[in-house]
Chain A
Amino acid sequence: METAQKRRRKAPKVAVAAVALFPLSLTACGGTAASGPKSPNTLTIQDYYDDAFDPIYDACAKSTGVRVEINHVPGPGLIPKVLQQSSSRTLPDVLMLDNPDVQQIAESGALSPLGDYGLHGEGMGPAVVKAGTYDGTLYGLAPAVNTLSIFYNKELFRAAGITAPPRTWDELRAAAKRLTTGDRYGFAMSNINTYEGSWQFLPFMWGNGGTEQDITTPETVQALQFLVDLQADGSISRSSIIWSQDDVIDQFLAGKAAMVVNGPWQIPTLQEDKSIDWGTFAIPTRLATQPTVAPLGGELFTVPRTGDRARMSRAGQYVKCLVSPERQLQTAQVRQTVPADPDVAERAGRANPAMATFVTTMRTARSRTAILGPDWPKAATKIYNAVQIALTGKAAPARALRQAQGE
C-alpha cells in the first residue's frame, strides 16, 4: 500500500525527468541496440515506426519461423544511429530506411543486395524498385508507399461555386483566388527550408518537365513562377516558407486554407475531425495534357551486411514476407499508404476510396533518387533554397534558381 502510494507520488518526477532527457536521447543516438549474445533465430529490426506496426512484424516472424526484436527509433535519430552502427558493425538484421536515404547507405557498402535472397522486385511499381536500386543492384523494397496530392474543402468549393476540381495551374490559380477571403487562404503548401519543402515543390517542377539535374531550365522557372504568382495573388500565405506539412494540415483543419498539398498519412487525422467535408484531387499540371508527376515517399526495408550469412539470409526471407501482397495490404492499412504492387494498390484503392487519388498518382510517381542517386540531398538543398529566395522576394524565380544552383 505504502509503496504504491509512494510510487504514485514519484511518477510525475519521473515523467519530468523523461521529458527533460528526451531531447538528449534524440541527439545522443545512444547505443542500446548492441545487446548481448543473440540467438541465431532472433532477428533485430530497426525502424522509425511505432507499435502499430508490430502486428505485421509478428505475423512475418510467425510465417518465417524467427523471433524478432523490434527497436523503434525517433525519425530524425535513425540515420545518425545507422551511421554509428555502421562504424561499430552493430547494424540490425532488418533495417527500415526512408527511401531517399537508401542509396546513400547502399553506397557506403553497409547493405546487402536483395538479389542474394531471391528478391528482384517483381510486381513492384517501377518507382519503388528505382528507389531501392543503387548502381544497378536492388538493396531495398517497400511494402507500401505514399505520394502527394491536394486535399480540398468540399463545402468551401460549393460555396464558391466551383464544381470540378482544377486540372491545370490556371484553374488552380483561379480557384485559389476565389476561395481566398479575409481570414482564409485558397491554397496552402509547405515551402519550408528543409527537404520537406523540396519534396512539396517537386510535383510542380516535375509535372512541368523540370529536372533536378539542372534546376535552371525554363520548366522549373515556370513552376517557381507559379508559386510566386499564387503568393502575389494573396492566395497562399507568406508564412508557407516556414510551414511544415503538419502546419499546413493544421491550417486546413482550422478552416484557414481551402486546398492543401499533403500526403495520405494525414487521412486518419482528417477522418477524426468530423468538422470538415474533404476530398482529394491530383496535383494539377500547367497544361491539361501533362501527366501529374509526384515524388515517391515511404520507407524501404533493407538487409544490412552484418557478417552473419545465415542470419542475413533469414533476414532476406523476412523482408520477402514484409513485402508480400498480403503484408502490403496490411501495411497500407496501418500506415495509410499505397501498396507497392500496382495490382494490390488497385484493390486497396477500391476498398478505401479516400486513397483512390493517391493510388492513381502513384502510377506516375517518381523516386527522388532515381536520377542523382546518393547526390539527391545536394539537389534537394538547392531546390528549397531557390524556392525560399523567390518567395521572400530576394530574387525573381529565374535568378533565384540560378543562384541556388551555383551554391
Chain B
Amino acid sequence: MTSADLSLPATAGDQRATALRQLLRRATPWLFSLPAVVFVAMFFGYPIVQNVVMSFQEYTTSTFYSGQAPWVGPANYVTILSSYLFTTTMVNTALFTIGSITFQFVIGLALALFFRRNFPLNGFLRSMLLLPWLIPLIASSAVWKWLLDQESGALNQFLGLFGGPAVPWLVDPTLALIGVIGVNIWLGIPFNVAILYSGLQAVPKELYEAGSLDGAVGWRAFRHITWPNLRSVVTVVLVLGVVYTLKVVDIILGLTGGGPANSTQTLATNAYNKSFVEFNFGEGAAISNILIVVSLVFALVYLFISRREPTA
C-alpha cells in the first residue's frame, strides 16, 4: 500500500528504491529465519555433509598434511558391513539400547509415581536422585569400574558377605554387557524421573478426584487416568532416551573400552575406535553414518507418533 502511494511521481531512482523495498519486504520472513538457517547449516548441515563425503574417502593421518583423501566409493561401507564385527556391534547396540531404555523407563516411572506422594524428605531425596547426572562421566565410569572389579571390587565384597562367589563383572563377555547396561541404567534414571515427574505434575488433580468417585483408584487410576495423560511425555522420554543411548561412548570406553573380546562394542564405540584410535577416519565416518540413519529412523517414528497424537 505504501509503495502505491509513493509511486506517483515515479523517477528512475524512486522506482529502484521501491523495488528494493518490495524485495526487502518479501525477504523479511526469510531474514527472520536466517539465523536459524545459518546455525543449522553451519553446525548440523556442514558436519553431516562432511561426514558423508568422508565416508566415501580414504581419509587417514596422511590426509591432514597432504590434504588428499582419495575417493574410494562405497569401499568403506563394504569393509564395515563385511566385517565380523558389524553383526556383533549391531546386536550389542540393540541389546544395550533396549536393555537400558526398558529398565531406565520402568524404574524412572516407578520412582516418579512414588515421589508424587507426600512424605518427609521428598524434595531432598528427589534432588539426590539427580546425582548420577551431576558427576562427570569419566569420574563415574572410573568409580564403577572399581566397584565392579572382580577381585577387590566393592560389589563382589558385598556379595561375598552372603557367601557368593566373586562375579567376573567386566571380565566375562556376557556379564560385561550386562554390567555396562546396568551402569547406563543408573545413569539414565535421573533423566527419566525428572521428565516423567514433571509430566505427572501436569495431570489435573480433578481427574483423580472424579475418578475416585467412580471407583478408579490404584492401578485403575493409573491405567485410565495417568497413562493416557502421560502418553505424549512418555513418547518424548522414550525417543530421546533411544537416541541418547544409541550414541553412548564415554561410559563404555571408561568401563570396558568395548571389550572383553568386543562384547561391549557398539556402533558408537566402534566408530570412535576407527576414527580416533586407528585414525581410519573414512571407515569411522561410515559407521557413524549408519548410526545417524538408525537414530534418524527413531526421530521419524517420534515425528510420526507426535503428529498422529490428538492435539491437547
What is A's interface to B at a CB cutoff of 8 Å?
20, 23, 79-80, 83-84, 86-87, 104-105, 107-110, 192-194, 237-239, 241-242, 256, 374, 377-378, 381, 385, 388-389, 391-392, 394, 403, 406-407
Inter-chain pairs besides A86-B64, A108-B62, A403-B84, 4 sampled, C-beta below 8 Å? A105-B61, A110-B64, A239-B150, A241-B259
Tell me whether A406 and B84 are in contact in the complex, defined as CB-CB below 8 angstroms, given that A84-B64, A104-B61 are known contacts: yes
Q: Does B119 contact A (CB under 8 A)?
A: no
The segment out of B12-20, B167-175, B197-205, B226-234 that lies at the interface is: B167-175
Closest partner residue, chain A, to B263 (CB atom): A392
Tell me whether A407 and B85 are in contact in the complex, defined as CB-CB below 8 angstroms, given that A109-B66, A377-B279, A392-B173 are known contacts: yes
What is B's interface to A at a CB cutoff of 8 Å?
60-67, 83-85, 136, 138, 149-151, 168, 170-173, 256-263, 276-279
Residues of B within 8 A of A238 (CB): 150, 168, 171
Q: Are B259 and A23 in contact (CB under 8 A)?
A: no
Tell me whether A23 and B261 are in contact in the complex, defined as CB-CB below 8 angstroms, given that A108-B65, A392-B172 are known contacts: no
Residues of B within 8 A of A407 (CB): 83-85
Q: Are A193 and B260 in contact (CB under 8 A)?
A: yes
Q: Are B259 and A388 in contact (CB under 8 A)?
A: yes
Distance from B137 Cβ to chain A, minimum over Cβ atoms (Å): 9
Residues of B within 8 A of A256 (CB): 151
20 interchain pairs, CB-CB under 8 A: A104-B62, A107-B61, A107-B62, A108-B62, A108-B65, A109-B62, A193-B258, A193-B260, A238-B168, A239-B151, A239-B168, A241-B261, A242-B170, A377-B278, A381-B278, A385-B262, A388-B262, A389-B261, A392-B173, A407-B83
Distance from A246 Cβ to chain B, minimum over Cβ atoms (Å): 13
Residues of B within 8 A of A107 (CB): 61-62
Closest partner residue, chain A, to B257 (CB atom): A193
A194 to B269, CA, bound (A): 13
Q: Are B257 and A87 in contact (CB under 8 A)?
A: no
A289 to B280, CA, bound (A): 40
Number of A-B contacts (CB under 8 A): 91
Interface of B is mostly: loop
* B60, B85, B171, B173 pick with most chain A CB within 10 angstroms: B171
Residues of B within 8 A of A378 (CB): 278
A377 to B280, CA, bound (A): 10
Closest partner residue, chain A, to B168 (CB atom): A238
Residues of B within 8 A of A20 (CB): 136
Contact of A392 among B64, B66, B261, B277 (CB under 8 A): B261
Distance from B148 Cβ to chain A, minimum over Cβ atoms (Å): 10
Tell me whether A108 and B168 are in contact in the complex, defined as CB-CB below 8 angstroms, given that A80-B276, A407-B84 are known contacts: no
Distance from A67 Cβ to chain B, minimum over Cβ atoms (Å): 27
Residues of A within 8 A of B261 (CB): 193, 241, 385, 388-389, 391-392, 394
Closest partner residue, chain B, to A101 (CB atom): B61
Q: Are A242 and B256 in contact (CB under 8 A)?
A: yes
Q: Are B64 and A108 in contact (CB under 8 A)?
A: yes
Closest partner residue, chain B, to A26 (CB atom): B138
Q: Are A109 and B65 in contact (CB under 8 A)?
A: yes
Interface of A is mostly: helix
Residues of A within 8 A of B257 (CB): 192-194
Residues of A within 8 A of B171 (CB): 238-239, 241-242, 392
Q: Are A242 and B260 in contact (CB under 8 A)?
A: yes
A238 to B260, CA, bound (A): 11
Closest partner residue, chain A, to B281 (CB atom): A83
A394 to B262, CA, bound (A): 11
Q: Are B279 and A241 in contact (CB under 8 A)?
A: no
Closest partner residue, chain B, to A110 (CB atom): B65
A388 to B168, CA, bound (A): 15
Tell me whether A87 and B62 are in contact in the complex, defined as CB-CB below 8 angstroms, given that A241-B259, A389-B261 are known contacts: no
A392 to B263, CA, bound (A): 10
Residues of A within 8 A of B136 (CB): 20, 23
A394 to B176, CA, bound (A): 14
Distance from A131 Cβ to chain B, minimum over Cβ atoms (Å): 17
Closest partner residue, chain A, to B67 (CB atom): A87
A381 to B150, CA, bound (A): 25
Residues of A within 8 A of B85 (CB): 407
Residues of A within 8 A of B260 (CB): 193, 241-242, 388, 391-392
Residues of A within 8 A of B151 (CB): 237, 239, 256
Residues of B within 8 A of A389 (CB): 261
Q: Are A23 and B138 in contact (CB under 8 A)?
A: yes
Residues of B within 8 A of A108 (CB): 60-66
Closest partner residue, chain A, to B150 (CB atom): A239
A16 to B173, CA, bound (A): 37
Q: Are B259 and A192 in contact (CB under 8 A)?
A: yes
A20 to B261, CA, bound (A): 32
Closest partner residue, chain B, to A254 (CB atom): B152
Residues of A within 8 A of B173 (CB): 392, 394
Residues of B within 8 A of A392 (CB): 171-173, 260-261, 263
A3 to B149, CA, bound (A): 47
Closest partner residue, chain B, to A91 (CB atom): B65
A403 to B67, CA, bound (A): 35
A193 to B277, CA, bound (A): 12
Closest partner residue, chain A, to B148 (CB atom): A242
Distance from B248 Cβ to chain A, minimum over Cβ atoms (Å): 16
Distance from B151 Cβ to chain A, minimum over Cβ atoms (Å): 7
A87 to B68, CA, bound (A): 11
Distance from B192 Cβ to chain A, minimum over Cβ atoms (Å): 25
Residues of A within 8 A of B84 (CB): 403, 406-407
Q: Are B279 and A242 in contact (CB under 8 A)?
A: no
Distance from B249 Cβ to chain A, minimum over Cβ atoms (Å): 11
A237 to B150, CA, bound (A): 10
Residues of A within 8 A of B61 (CB): 79, 83, 104-105, 107-108, 374
Residues of B within 8 A of A242 (CB): 170-171, 256, 259-260
